[in-house]
Amino acid sequence: MTFPLGDPCSEARYSSILPYLYDYYLASPDPPPRNSPEKWLSTVAAWKAELRAFGSGHALANYLKLRFDDVCRGDNFTALRAGLAALGATAPSSVYARKLPAAQADLRHGRLSIGGKHLGRHITEALTDGELDTIIDDGRTGGLDVAVLGRDGRRYGFKCVYAEDTGFYRLTGAAEYERFMADSGVVRDVVEDGKELFMELWAFRSPALREGVGAGAGGDHPEGALGMVILFFDLDADGLGDELFDDDSITIKQLMRHYPKESYPKESEEAAAN
C-alpha cells in the first residue's frame, strides 16, 4: 500500500498511527495535509501549540472578573440555576464576551462563531489537551460534544470545532443552532426588532455530562465534561453603553453593572473577524 504523494507505507513505520487515522483516511477526499499521516499529526500539534500560545502577551480580559451569581440572580435565571444544580456543575466561569454580530441571527449561518485567536484565549485555557485535540481534528472526530444551556435552562447539544482559516472556535449543528437562537430570542431581537445584543459565554464542568465522552476527548478531567452557558443581553435595555473593553468585547457599563464601586483600565486589542 502507498500513501498519496508517494509516501511509502510500511507496517513498522505507521503501525502506531494507522488506527488513529484509518477511518478518517478512507472517508477523506485527500484534503492536504490530511493526505499524509505524518504531516497531519504534525499539523494538529502545531495548531494546538498555536492556540495555547495565543494566551501569551495579552492581559487577562476584564470579563474574567464577572461572577456568575452576580449576573444570574433573580427569578429570570431560576431555571438555569436549577439546571446547573441538577448536573452537579461547577460554578460557571466567564471565558468570552463580545457584541453579537448581526449575521449570527441569520439561521442559515448554521453555527455560532466564538473566540478568534487571542480573543478566544480564555476558552482555550478552559480546555484539556484531549478536548483541544478533538476540536482541532474534527474531520476525524466530528468535533467535541458540548452541552450548552440557555437563559431558561434548556439544554442544547452542539459540536465544538476549530476553523483553521479564521482562528475561531465554532459551535455547530444546524438544527440545534436554529432552536437555540430562536429560543433565546436572538432572531426576534436582531432581525425583527433591530436590537444590538451582547453575548456572554460561561464554561463549567459536570460529572453528569461525562457519559459518552472518552478519556482522549477530555473525559478524564477530574471535575467532569465541559459544558457552556451562553447568555444574550440587549445593549440598550441593559445599559451596556458604547465604551468597550477587550476589543469591542465588553463595556465599562457592563462591568460597572456588576461591580459599581470598581473601575478598570482600558485594554486595547486589535479587532478579530469571523
- Of 101, 127, 98, which Cα lies nearest the Cα of 115? 98
What's the N-to-C CA distance of the chain in angstroms? 41
pLDDT at 108: 83
Q: Rounded to whole angstroms, how far apart are CA atoms 214 and 219?
A: 5
Q: Rounded to whole angstroms, how far apart are CA atoms 243 and 78?
A: 31
**Contact partners, residue 242, CB within 8 Å, separation at least 6:** 251
pLDDT at 246: 52
pLDDT at 270: 30
Cell 436572538 identifies what position?
186
Q: Rounded to whole angstroms, how far apart are CA atoms 51 and 260?
A: 34
Helices 129-136 and 37-53, interaxial angle, to 10°? 120
Question: Model's pTM, two decimal places?
Answer: 0.74
Which residues of the chain have a pLDDT value below 50?
1-34, 242-244, 248, 252, 256, 259-273
pLDDT at 78: 96
Strands 197-206 and 250-251: unpaired
What pLDDT, in 10s, does the model give residues 158-187? 999 998 888 899 999 989 999 999 999 998
